Amino acid sequence: MMICFRGCCIIITHCYVDLVGRDYAFVKLGDDYAWIDMKGHLISDKHDIIFGEVGDFSEGYARVRVFEEYGFIRPDSSFLIFPRFEEATPFFNHLASVSDEDSFGYIFTDGSEDLVPLYMNNKIRIHPGAFMDLKFPQDTFPSVNWNDSVYFFDPFDTLILDKLIAIHSEALRWAPYLYFNYPQMLPKVSAGEGTMVGRFLFNLPFLTPGHETWENLKRKVLLRILSDEKMRSLIWKLAKPYYKTSYQSMPEMHREVYLDMIDYLEGYYEKYDVETINAFLSDNESFFAYEHPDGTRSPFRKVSAQIDRLILMYEVITVEDTRKWIRKIKNEISKW
C-alpha cells in the first residue's frame, strides 16, 4: 500500500494509518503500532513501548493497550493515563470507565480520576444478634428454599432482617457498578436495582410481586415495621452505619446520583397532592411506576411510586412522615 503523507509517499504493507501530528503519522505494521516521520522512517523516541491495540481518537484521546493493560494517549502520543487497567471504554461525555482486579471507576478528560476499591476490605454485615428479636419464624415463609444464596453472602439458615439489610446496602453500591460502563443509565439503575434491590444478583428468588413468600414477608414484617415510628427509628439507627459504609465506598459519580435522587424525592413530596396521585394510581396501575400524573418521567420514578403505594395503598406512612424522613436522611447523608 502506498501512503502519501505531507507530500511524501511511502509504501507499507498491511497498514492502518492515523494522522495524529503535524510531522508524523501513526501506522499499524502487522500486529503492532508505530509512529513514522514524513519520510517513512520509524520514530524510535516517541515511546519505548509497543502498542498491541490503539483505538480511534474520541474527545481528543485514544485508548491504547500495552500487553493486556489499557491506558489513554493524547494526539501527540504522550500519555494521559499510563496503561494499567484490565478494561477501559473510549471517552464519551468527558469520561471513560475503567477497572482492574482491585478497583473500578472513571477517568475524566482533564486527567482526574474517580476510582474506588472493587471490593471493600470488610464486607457489609450487620453485627450478629443486632436484630435477634426480629428473627422471622420459618413457617412464615413456606415456599423458601433455605439453601438459596445471595451474591456475596452465605446460604440462609434462617431469614432474618439483618440479611435483607445487608443485601440492600450491598446492592446500593454494586448495582450501579454493574452498569458503570454506561453512565447514562446510572440514575435508572441506582433507583431500580440499587435502591429497590430490583433483580439479578441481589434478589432472593421469592422477592417477586404475588409470590406467597414475598407477600407474607411484606405483610407480616416489612409493613409492620414501616407503620411504626419507633420501629422505623430503631431500624435506621442500627442499619445507618452499614449504609454509610456502602455510600462512602462508591465513586463520587455514584454518590452524586443518590444525592440527586434525594433532591428529586424532596421536591416530589413537597408538592404532593394526595387526591391527584390516588386517582392516577387507580386509573393507571400498569404504568404507575414509569411516569408522573402530568406525564413527565424521571429515572427515579420507581422509588417515588413505591413510596406512593406505602402512603395510599398500604397506609403505613403519612405524607408528612415521608417528608420528615426524606429530610432526615438527606441531612445525615450530607454529613457522610
Tens of pLDDT along the chain (336 residues)?
434 434 444 444 334 444 444 465 666 666 666 667 667 676 655 555 677 888 888 999 989 998 899 999 887 778 999 999 999 999 999 999 999 988 999 999 999 999 998 876 555 444 444 444 444 444 443 343 434 333 334 344 455 566 677 778 888 888 888 889 898 899 999 998 889 876 556 666 666 777 777 787 788 778 888 998 988 998 888 888 889 988 999 999 999 999 999 999 999 999 999 999 999 999 988 889 999 999 999 999 999 999 999 999 999 999 999 999 999 999 999 999
Write out the E strands in the chain. 2-5, 8-11, 15-18, 24-29, 32-37, 53-58, 61-66, 69-73, 79-85, 87-88, 95-99, 103-108, 113-117
Residue 94 C-alpha cell reads as 468527558
Cα gap 135→235, rounded to integer Å: 13
Structural domain includes residue 137: yes
Structural domain includes residue 145: yes
Residue 238 C-alpha cell reads as 442500627
Confidence (pLDDT) at 202: 65
Structural domain includes residue 186: yes
207's CB contacts (< 8 A; 6+ apart) are 197, 214
Structural domain includes residue 70: no
Domain total of the chain: 1
Confidence (pLDDT) at 200: 57
Confidence (pLDDT) at 159: 53
Structural domain includes residue 239: yes
Q: How many CB atoms lie within 10 A of CB 76?
A: 10
156 is in which domain, residue-wise? 132-333
Structural domain includes residue 88: no
Structural domain includes residue 236: yes
Structural domain includes residue 126: no
